[in-house]
Amino acid sequence: MTTFGFDEHDDSYIDDAYDDFTPAAIYRCIKAESKWDPQLDLTAAFDVLADFEKQINALCIVVPDSHERLDKLLDTFYSTWLFSASSLKVPEHKLNSLSYTLTMRSGSPTTLAILLCHFLQQANLDASISLNQGDIGVHIAMSDEEGYLVEPSSGQQSWYIIPENADEAEGQEQEPLELIFDDEVYKLFLAQQKWSFISENKFGHALTCVEMLMELIGDDPYERRDRGYLLNQLDCPKMARDDLQFFVDECPDDPAIEIIQHQIEELEDNNKTHH
């Protein structure tokens, strides 16, 4: 695992990490927040992150056993640092923000999972973000046969072991997980923020998320569809129509195709009316 050396009061390390390394997903996610909110000051979030990383490095020195280190780190994360899901009425886009989660110790399952996973990796544990039937979690492999799953909002753990004589099908049954890494974690973060912004009518912010996703995955028809919707909300009907038509052409069998075609017709009618 790559770690970065820096003075805790020197912000240049953030940019250096991007220039010289493939940074951990958490750094990319935090820095992305300045794209849709240029006024956002991320200094406090990076300072808190650096402080926690230093505490974890110190913990590793005094707790060499990996099982004991895992228990100690989970206890620290939930009981000492008091990270949790929010019980307050906080806008979803804030809970989906890693800078908010770091400074307020409260977040969504996604931000808590990304943060916990990063800290576990910092502690030299084999941790990954897991997806299981749409639920996000943190997977920690202790060996090829055994590991833990952690529910990020509560910290609830479950231990699993794959029997030595289990065939591959049985093993998959016991652990029906998808593990995601690096770019996929970053895409998940951007997608979560996109939908939270859409639900709160922050269409400009959501459009930034779509454009960042398209930089990663190219002309994805579903992102083009979402961009078309957002451009329409932002009074850019011609560009919106082009994006929605692209989706119709690429995904003619999609269940929502009739709704999209109706939107295209409305845009064309409005365009004729204005001319």
What tokens were used for 43?
Answer: 């200094």
Task: DSSP for 136-165, please give it.
Answer: EEEEEESSSSEEEEE-TTT--EEEEE--TT
Domains and CATH numbers, the chain: 12-180 (3.10.620), 183-274 (1.25.40.10)
Average the pLDDT over 109-131 and give the result: 96
Band of pLDDT at residue 47, cut at 50, 70 and 90: very high
Instruction: Please check the confidence at residue 175 and state whether its pLDDT lies above 60.
Output: no
Q: Return the closest-CA partner of residue 186 out of 119, 118, 247, 140.
A: 118
> Where are any strands of DSSP class E within 5-125?
84-85, 106-107
Max intra-chain CA distance, the chain: 74
- Model's pTM, two decimal places? 0.85
What tokens were used for 158?
Answer: 């479950």
Instruction: Please check the confidence at residue 97 and state whether its pLDDT lies above 60.
Output: yes
* Phi, psi angles (nearest 5°) of residue 168: -60, -40
Average pLDDT, the chain: 87
pLDDT of residue 119: 97
The larger pLDDT score, comparing residue 267 to residue 23, is at 267
The larger pLDDT score, comparing residue 165 to residue 1, is at 165
Q: State the Cα–Cα distance between residues 113 and 129, nearest whole angstrom.
A: 7
pLDDT of residue 154: 93
pLDDT of residue 160: 86
Q: State the Cα–Cα distance between residues 87 and 81, nearest whole angstrom.
A: 16
